[in-house]
Amino acid sequence: MKVAIIGGGAAGMSAASRVKALRPNWDVKVFEKSRWVSHAPCGIPFFVGGAVEKFDELCAYDIDYFKRERGIDVHTNARVVEIEEGRLTVDEGGKEASYEWDKLLFATGSKAVRLNVEGENLEGVIYVDDIENAERVKIEAMKVDNVVVVGSGYIGVEMADAITRLGKNVTVIEVMERPLPEYDAEIAAIIKSEMEKYVNLRLSEKVTAFEGKDRVEKVVTNKGEYPCELAIIAVGVAPNTDLAKGFVELGVKGAIRTNSRMETSRENVYAAGDCAESINIVTGREDWIPLAAPANKMGYVAGVNMAGLEMHYPGSLKSQLTGFKDIEIGKAGLSENEAIRFGYEVVSAFITSRTSARYLPGGLIHLKVVADRNGKLLGLQAVGKDVAMRVYAASALLHKNGDVKDLFFCDFPYYPPVSRVWDPLVVAARNIFRKLGLP
């Protein structure tokens, strides 16, 4: 049996590894357009900021490991240019080669959304959409004084943090009214306050052009101009489905439509990771959730089913963690704004609490829990100290369709230096009780 996998990132290598583990005699080939496989684009800001010293540490395993230990035939610098039933055409270093397949997986990931403005092709304007750009960003950043980051989603916030750690002057430009626009206003206000201590944060501004002679010298918006020797663009991503169009059916936001086995509309063709749609566990609807943890699991499930066994992917919560300087930021499930857009009648509680016992030093956590009028838990957002473990706890409950009573009665452990007898999650749940008319 011949298995072809397009893309050597999280989903692709997870699927390839699963197929070979279950069917060691099968021929499994992975075609990756870059020099790297099993790469971690989420780690780019930490390499740029110096937390990761060596670029190759951003790859979980090297190519030889997959070939030697797992028997996967990995082709790097291999760009698939055409797909036919049972056959792929691949450009490998300028030479085209043809490969047969019996089962095919699309694991082509996502691609950066472009601004499509004048001057975006100038030297010094870099889109953070490829792990190979990590080295370029760091080298460029070390040589300049003024850096503009366009976009304040997760990557934008983390890149701004990283560049300030290099001692540079950073301006962050966001078209929406708050940083991390997926978060509700109460949480975003705290993030905004923290960011303004370190960067020139420009909100509700739209970039209209980049200007410069040989390379970028300034960024122009609808409200002003900013000196700039390096512009880092992180305004979002879209499913990378150019190859899939016309071959398989597309779904939400242009991602490849799949069922719970990661099968596409075409027999023996699968899709996983950032190029594929899945189910939002909270809403029960098809969604597109381009994150690393779901991508790995989608790849695992695809690999199991490609090998002829059966496993179903239940969906994703869009659980996320990030940070800026000394604060952690996290979210699982829906924000209040998102819940309202999905048609829920919402109740919520926003609290600020210490994270440790009163008699020990600790920090503050600002936390918001969202539920519906029946008490169904819809989501959590938090910023401050010890956010991660609260997001983990909420994610587990959301995954099992828990309600606010589950959140209240869940037996969270108590350890005075890092938690309280009445954990912030429990306090927030109790506040929702009151709004629901519970005793």
Catalytic positions? 42
Residues 6+ positions from 361 with CB-CB distance below 8 Å: none
CA dihedral (181, 187, 189, 194) in degrees, to 10, reads -100
List C-alpha distances in Å: 256 to 245, 246, 382: 9, 11, 32
112 burial via Cβ count (<10 Å: 0-12, 13-18, 19+): buried
Please, what is the angle between helix 424-436 and helix 387-399, to 10°? 50
**DSSP secondary structure of 389-423:** HHHHHHHHHHHTT-BHHHHHHS-----TTT--SS-
- Tell me 59's DSSP state: B
CA 247/CA 416 separation, integer angstroms: 57
DSSP state of 238: E
Rounded to whole angstroms, the Cα distance separating 427 from 355 reads 12
- Tokens 């452990």: give the residue: 413
CA-CA distance, 82 to 89, in Å (whole number)? 5
Is residue 172 within 8 A of residue 156, CB to CB? The reply is yes
* Beta pairing, strands 364-372 & 346-354: antiparallel
Q: How many alpha carbons fall within 13 Å on the CB side of residue 191? A: 31
